[in-house]
Amino acid sequence: MLKIFICEDNDKQRERFTKFIEDFIVIENFDMKIALVTKNPEDIIKYVSKNDISGLYFLDIDLRHDINGIKLALKIRKYDPRGFIVFITTHGEMAPLTFKYKVEAMDYIVKDSDENLKDNIRKCIIDANTKYSGTLNKLQKNFSIKINGRIVNVEFRKILFFETSSKVHKIALHATDRQVEFYAKMKDIEDKLDGRFFRCHRSYLVNKDNIKEIDSKEKLAYMVNGEKCLISVRTLKKLVNN
């Protein structure tokens, strides 16, 4: 999932950008969500430094803070080198600075007419979605699910386990950053995965890389986030030795 961040010191503009972006990603059914909206650049630095994310950042340049938008972008790059950075500002004359400091901005949007602003934000969201999906496919394996007409991509490394849902014919996917349910058969899912996944129970398909501890007595696998999976008697020894 591509997470969106907004850093704007003007309260009314911040609310306006947030509402427009929220509405647009719902209309387009993109696999995105707004993760943080703030006027304080330090909030974003704190978030990206503690989370493994891919982000789309809409940053004002003049934030009336010791850290301006360009300095914020430089700090973001340390933690999210492939993130998409967009500057939205009234200071068109500051555009050359983004090249001088090599922050590799996706776009530089000047706050002029409301309609032009919306159109440029819209184009940036579409462009980021396209590039993000392409990057996932090239750099890492991911599990794709179609849910209500939306394509959801979950990186293999973030998947904890799959389990049969209490809802008929549905599977629940547990990941480090989300949980989703979809219609599928466990066997069909197995065929789409690689060697890091193991069928430890008829109702569970676990990512061995994300197992923190195995309780052989209780036949439970504890995941890195504290969740647990059942292990069958038949598969216990093989899982422990893997």
Do residues 119 and 154 share a domain?
no
Do residues 25 and 108 share a domain?
yes
Spell out the per-residue pLDDT of the chain, length 242, in tens: 889 999 999 999 999 999 999 999 999 988 899 999 999 999 999 999 998 888 999 999 888 889 988 899 999 999 998 899 999 887 655 555 555 556 678 888 888 777 888 999 999 999 998 888 776 655 568 888 888 878 888 889 899 999 999 888 899 999 998 899 999 999 999 988 988 999 999 999 999 999 999 999 999 999 999 999 999 999 999 888 87
What's the total number of domains in the chain?
A: 2
Residue 108: CB atoms within 10 A of its CB come to 20
Single pTM value for the model? 0.66
Do residues 69 and 130 share a domain?
yes
Nearest Cα residue to 145 out of 187, 192, 208 = 192
Do residues 113 and 157 share a domain?
no
Q: What is the CATH number of the domain that holds 77?
A: 3.40.50.2300
Do residues 72 and 189 share a domain?
no
Q: What is the CATH number of the domain that holds 150?
A: 2.40.50.1020
Domain residue limits at 120: 2-139
| Number of Cα atoms under 13 Å in the Cβ half of residue 55 | 29
Last residue of a domain, one of 139, 174, 195: 139
Do residues 135 and 96 share a domain?
yes
